[in-house]
Every structure is written in C-alpha cells, then in structure tokens.
Structure 1
C-alpha cells in the first residue's frame, strides 16, 4: 500500500475556506501513457489535521507522482497550500 498524507491544508493563502481536495496517484510509464493507481481520494480532515489516502502498492523502481484533480469541488484557478506532505510506500 502507498499512502499520501497532507497536513494542514489552506486555500488561496487562507483567504478562501478549505473544504476538500481530491488526490490521485499516478505511475509514470516510460514511452507509454501514465496510469492512475487506484481511485481518486477525497481529503477533508487536513483542514486542521492530517488526511491520509491509501493507494495500491508501488513496487521498487516505479516512478510515481500525485495529482490534485479538484480543490473545494472545482477545477478552476485556485491555490492549495499544504503545510506537510508525506508519501510512504
């Protein structure tokens, strides 16, 4: 299992109330389209604490990254700040 943790999320430097963010885990595949690993996870607890998304395990040598697909339910121009990010395999 791969975990992606966000601690203390704010939006637009705190000028906009934070409600949620959607996180996806992707695997980089050389010379092929990248592949999403697992389903999108919705984070809400990181407003004041830590949100943890659990994704399928990555294997040694895999190159992975996470993508923010929504912030506060939208995909427009909005800025997400996260105090601490931790990715654990």
Structure 2
C-alpha cells in the first residue's frame, strides 16, 4: 500500500511540474510576439510593451491588440478589451 501511495504521489508531482513549465513557456511565447492595435483609419500599428506603453481596459465587444499571422498574412485578435496608452 505504501508503494502505491508513493507512486501516485510521484505521478502527481511530475504532472504538476510539467503543467507549470508548459504554462510558463506559453506565457513567454505570447509576450514575445509583437502586438499591434488598429488605428482609427483601419491600419495596424505597433502597440508597444504591455503595462509600460499600454494597458487593455475591459470592453465587452472590443479587441485591444492583434498579432500578425505570417502564414495567412492577416492580423488575428490577441487580447479583448480597449487599448489605453500610458505614454
């Protein structure tokens, strides 16, 4: 019984560590992408650094930032909200 309990604990710890690493890598990849915003003329411009140059305020139907998909050549929504510039 003790061996089974130890094995289950080892699996649980390994699974938790793997999940933490995968989440961290995903967040870093999202931060590394260049974020764009849609201007009033409909063109896309570089937004800058989140929480330094801009923040995304809550907005029910708006899109705060976009990322460029080089495979299709289009801009895809990245974050929901309304962009507010800090600088």
Range class of TM-score, shorter chain: under 0.3
TM-score, normalised by the number of residues in structure 2? 0.28
Higher-Rg structure is: 2
TM-score, normalised by the number of residues in structure 1? 0.28
| Structure with more contact order per residue of length (Cα contacts < 8 Å, sep ≥ 6) | 1
Going by fraction, where is strand more abundant, 1 or 2? 1
